[in-house]
Amino acid sequence: MSNVDLHKKLNKKPNNMYGRYHGFTLIELIAVLVILGIVSALGSSFFLSVVDSYDEVQQRSKIINRGRLVIEQMTRQLRIASPNSTRVSASGNCVEFLPIVAGVRYVEDVPDIDNGVSMGSTIRTAPYTLGLGSARHAIVGALVDSEIYTSGSLNSRVNVNNLGAGPPFSTINLTSNHRFIRNSSQRRVYLTDNPQRFCLIGTTLFRYSNYGLSTTGLSDINPGGAVDVMAENVATTSRAFSISLGSEDFNTVVDIDLNFLQGNNQVALQQQVLIRNVP
């Protein structure tokens, strides 16, 4: 083999089964970069969407937990309301009630408009003890709230002076001689503390207590006494509170309808509270 043939053989370009070897063109590199950019953008968008969805779920969960806690607190208080002592303001923004601290049967009829029993200032009862709160009012046979929230001499409520010796107690001493409208069908007297109320004022839910009993209609005005903020950023689409009055055979129903807000999230919560209605 001559030197010329050897030189040609050594400088011959190699071939493979696909043809000649070559690199990427500029167009191919640009296409790859564009594809990678699109994939990265889609991946980032999906990741951010997942993170945003998780944050929204967490926020809604916090709102729900906060709302349920507030409604549960109101429900527990309303369930111990004295029968027919619950009333709602005309706007539906406030609900008021007298919380029971004791309920007991009395041993002899109390004076009412039918039995002719002489007025007295003591009610004799079976032995009883007090729950939470102070015994400030005695209620017998109330069928509607107007028989309780009144200053008339003939009503179903009278102020309590003291409870005699005890505990356990067996007498209720009133501040004055009193005649009730009627006796209780179950011969039951309820001892209650001063009224409490829940009010949605603006976007804040308040609890009012220790303001004394008012015999005028229930309004949305701050009654004074102790004020507690139960929740902020609260609204309602209709009436915050509404009431379906009961009878001796049916319980009173209080409907709670509140929306709890935080940022762009809103959670609507409704609750029905049954209040025993045995006068």
What six digits make up the tokens of 51? 């993170």
Residue 49 confidence (pLDDT): 64
Residue 22 confidence (pLDDT): 58
Percent helix / strand / coil, the chain, rounded to 5: 25, 40, 40
d(CA 141, CA 188): 8
pLDDT tier at 2 (50, 70, 90 boundaries)?
low
Residue 33 confidence (pLDDT): 76
Q: Does 120 share its domain with 239?
A: no
pLDDT tens for 162-218 read: 998 888 999 999 999 999 999 998 999 999 999 999 999 999 999 999 999 999 899
pLDDT tens for 24-79 read: 677 777 777 777 777 776 666 655 565 566 566 678 888 889 999 999 999 999 99
Question: In the predicted model, what is the mean pLDDT of residues 139-161?
Answer: 91
Residue 187 confidence (pLDDT): 94
Q: Does 113 share its domain with 250?
A: no
Q: Outline where DSSP puts E strands in the chain.
A: 15-16, 19-20, 87-88, 94-97, 100-105, 120-128, 137-140, 154-155, 157-162, 169-180, 188-192, 196-201, 204-209, 226-232, 234-235, 241-244, 252-262, 265-275
Cβ neighbour number for residue 113 with a 10 Å cutoff: 10
Q: Does 201 share its domain with 188?
A: no
Q: Does 87 share its domain with 200?
A: yes
Residue 197 confidence (pLDDT): 97
The pLDDT of residue 278 is above 90: no
Question: In the predicted model, what is the mean pLDDT of residues 73-86?
Answer: 95
Residue 43 confidence (pLDDT): 63
Q: Does 64 share its domain with 202?
A: yes
126: left (phi over 0), alpha (psi -120 to 50) or beta: beta
**Residue 52 is assigned to a structural domain of this protein:** no
**Residue 241 is assigned to a structural domain of this protein:** yes
Average pLDDT, the chain: 86
Residue 245 confidence (pLDDT): 81
Q: Does 162 share its domain with 80?
A: no
pTM listed for this prediction: 0.79
168, 192, 216 — which closes off a domain? 192
Residue 223 confidence (pLDDT): 94
Higher pLDDT, 32 or 253: 253
CA distances from 262 to 58, 67, 198, 234, 259 (A): 12, 11, 21, 9, 10
Residue 8 confidence (pLDDT): 52
Q: Does 126 share its domain with 88?
A: no
* Residue 134: φ, ψ to 5°: -115, 145
**Residue 209 is assigned to a structural domain of this protein:** yes
192, 210, 229 — which closes off a domain? 192
Q: How many domains does the chain have?
A: 2
Query: Angle at the Cα of 36 (from 33 to 38), degrees rounded to 5?
Result: 110
pLDDT tier at 116 (50, 70, 90 boundaries)?
confident
Q: Which residue has the tokens 């208080």?
A: 77
Percent of the chain's residues with pLDDT above 90? 63
Residue 41 confidence (pLDDT): 67
The pLDDT of residue 84 is above 90: yes
Percent of the chain's residues with pLDDT above 70? 83
Per the structure, the complete domain to which residue 161 belongs is given by 100-192
